[in-house]
DNA sequence: ACCTGAACACCGTTCAAGT
DNA sequence: ACCTGAACACCGTTCAAGT
């Protein structure tokens, strides 16, 4: 298999999905490609460019339908769930998606498609952009917290959540709830809050 | 000045604030302390423990007043602004605050204090926890995006925002708005949405 | 044109040795 | 008790050399 930008970036994403973002080094990626790590510099000027290549692949996974006459609330919810699902499919790559500048072509493409949806739903341009920023921040924030704290929620098998000994009574009261895997419910709660808040916009 | 856990963690935070999170290495921190890097291992078992020490200092900066009879909307807004201000005072440390498990004592303390506020305002326990998760995710998500994309927004002096050539017309239309530093306004927009959404909770 | 090997300036971490 | 020096197994990146 010949080396190419696409194959390198795809192999890099597979490595990140498998071993985590910190495990991605030019040398290890070279090994996965059957080549010395330094060969990658023929295709990417540095590691930052390689990470941008990974982001491009990830955002391409996000299929955003063209505007239709479906109620905007439903479109808004579906797009939020689609983005959340993308993040949870690639938990180790979430930090790469937490700071996406609109100057990046792949980001601008996805943002433009969502803007088209919101504007078709009656949002004016400034509100649509701020709505996009709000929901994106929320979805990324939840996913990052959820994935980062997963080791503390995992595998308790009925044992209580390990709160510190001097924890607030309000938290102790919720220890059983904390032990369960109710991230999806928590996400839905916040999504409902945001949709209702947008419905009552002036 | 003798070495101590507190002095090491404070010096580490100062280094991160000055040079960024990636610049924090045991060797450079040692240099700032006037000592060889390896000496730090007498006080922290590894780098992860050192980062936890930094988090502890940061969360201690967050003063959360006891419950009062102020309307919960105002308390909610003030706590959100206080947390946002903390993040913007330490922009390079934001990734450390993006994944805070409640098993961490400093986190549990801050979370407990906020829970007390929300419960005094009439939220039941499960709702208070999910509300805390929602607002935290939003505040961290916005701050992280804002800081991470700051280089692309900075110092344009009237030049248009550098959108990619094939950008969506809906984005091109907003280029002037993108060039301005309206992050505060965007944050406020999302905060209003969330507060309104919480007001209409069932 | 494409890849390799050696080199440089870094990492986190361990551990025997110094004081 | 507290810090140092050397060592190990890693990093990203450059560049002359090979094919």
Residues B49 and B19 in one domain: yes
Residue where one domain finishes, among candidates A40, A58, A76: A58
Residues B18 and B97 in one domain: no
- State the average pLDDT for chain A: 93
* A77 burial via Cβ count (<10 Å: 0-12, 13-18, 19+): middle
* Domain finish residue from B34, B58, B82: B58
Q: Are residues B82 and B53 located together in one domain of the fold?
A: no
> Distance (Å, rounded) from C-alpha A27 to C-alpha A36?
7
Helical (H) or strand (E) element with A33? helix A26-33
In this prediction, residues B1-30 reach a mean pLDDT of 97
The model's confidence at residue B181, banded by pLDDT at 50, 70 and 90, is low
| Domain encompassing residue A86 | 64-201
Of B83, B193, B197, B98, nearest to B145 by C-alpha is B98
The one-character DSSP state at A35 is S
Cβ-contact A147, A91 below 8 angstroms = yes
Which CATH number characterizes residue A85's domain?
1.10.357.10
Over pLDDT 90: what percentage of chain B?
A: 80
Q: Which of these ranges, A151-155, B40-44, B89-93, has the smallest mean pLDDT? A: A151-155
A20: left (phi over 0), alpha (psi -120 to 50) or beta: left
Other CB atoms closer than 10 Å to residue B2's CB: what's the count?
4
Instruction: Give me the residues near strand D, CB below 7 A.
Output: A 23-28, 37-38, 41, 45-48; B 2-3, 30, 35-36, 38-39, 42
CA distance B26 to chain A (A): 18
Whole-number pLDDT of residue A178: 76
Same structural domain for residues A40 and A83? no
Assess contact for A183 and A191: CB atoms under 8 A: no
**B200 vs B202: CA distance, rounded Å:** 6
CB B172 within 8 A of CB B163: yes
User: Both B75 and B48 in a single domain?
Assistant: no
Spell out the SS3 assignment of A75-115: HHHHHHHHHHHHHHHCHHHHHHHCCCCCCCHHHHHHHHHHH
Mean pLDDT value of segment A84-102: 97
d(CA B66, CA B111): 13
Largest distance between two CA atoms of chain B: 61
Give the pLDDT of residue A70.
92
Give yes or no for residue B3 having a pLDDT over 90: yes
Window A48-67, strand C contacts by Cβ < 7 Å: none
Which residues are CB-neighbours of A142 under 8 A, at least 6 positions away? A84, A183, A186, A187, A190, B133, B134, B137
Kindly identify which residue of chain A lies nearest to residue B113, measuring between CA atoms: A168
Domain CATH for A51 = 1.10.10.60
Q: What is the average pLDDT across B33-45?
A: 98
> How many Å apart are CA A106 and CA A54, to the nearest integer?
11
Is residue B34 scored above 90 in pLDDT? Answer: yes
Among A42, A58, A74, identify where a domain stops: A58
CA angle B84, B87, B92 (to 5 degrees): 155
Model confidence, pTM:
0.94
Same domain, A139 and A197: yes
The reply to whether B94 and B188 lie within a common domain is yes
Banded model confidence at residue A180, pLDDT cuts 50, 70, 90:
low
Number of domain units in chain A: 2
* pLDDT score of A1 more than 90: no
Of B115, B134, B197, the CB nearest to A171: B115
Q: What is the 3-state secondary structure (H, E, C) of chain B?
A: CCCCHHHHHHHHHHHHHHHCHHHCCHHHHHHHHCCCHHHHHHCCCCHHHHHHHHHHHHHHCCCCCCCCCCCHHHHHHHHHHHHHHHHHHCHHHHHHHCCCCCCCHHHHHHHHHHHHHHHHCCCCHHHHHHHHHHHHHHHHHHHHHHHHCHHHHCCCCCCCCCCCCCCCHHHHCCHHHHHCCCHHHHHHHHHHHHHHHHHCCC
Q: Looking at the structure, tell me whether residues B30 and B80 fall in a common domain.
A: no
Residues A108-160: pLDDT tens digits? 999 999 999 999 999 999 999 999 999 999 999 999 999 998 888 876 666 77
The reply to whether B45 and B140 lie within a common domain is: no
Residues A129 and A106 in one domain: yes
List the A72 CA – C14 C1' distance (angstroms): 59
pLDDT in tens, A38-82: 999 999 999 999 999 999 999 999 999 998 999 999 999 999 999
B180 pLDDT above the threshold of 70: no
Q: Are residues B49 and B68 in the same domain?
A: no
B13 and B75 co-located in one domain:
no
Contact between the CB of A27 and strand C at under 7 Å? no
**Model pLDDT, residue B201:** 76
**A182 or B4: which leads in pLDDT:** B4
Kindly indicate the confidence band of residue B73, based on its pLDDT and cuts at 50, 70 and 90: very high
- Cβ-contact A44, A4 below 8 angstroms: no
């Amino acid at each position: 298999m010949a080396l190419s930008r696409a194959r390198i970036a795809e192999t890099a994403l597979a490595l990140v999905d498998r071993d985590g973002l910190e495990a991605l080094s030019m040398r290890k990626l070279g090994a996965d490609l059957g080549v010395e790590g330094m060969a990658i510099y023929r295709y990417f000027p540095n590691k930052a460019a390689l990470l941008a290549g990974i982001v491009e692949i990830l955002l391409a996974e996000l299929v955003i339908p063209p505007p239709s006459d479906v109620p905007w609330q439903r479109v808004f919810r579906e797009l939020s769930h689609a983005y959340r699902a993308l993040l949870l499919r690639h938990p180790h790559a979430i930090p790469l998606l937490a700071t996406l500048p609109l100057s990046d072509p792949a980001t601008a493409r996805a943002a433009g498609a969502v803007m088209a949806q919101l504007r078709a739903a009656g949002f004016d341009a400034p509100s649509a952009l701020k709505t996009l920023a709000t929901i994106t921040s929320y979805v990324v924030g939840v996913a990052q917290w959820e994935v980062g704290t997963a080791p503390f929620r995992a595998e308790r098998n009925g044992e209580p959540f390990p709160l510190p000994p001097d924890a607030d009574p309000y938290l102790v009261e919720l220890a059983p709830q904390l032990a369960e895997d109710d991230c999806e419910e928590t996400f839905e709660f916040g999504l409902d809050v945001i949709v209702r808040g947008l419905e009552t916009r002036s």
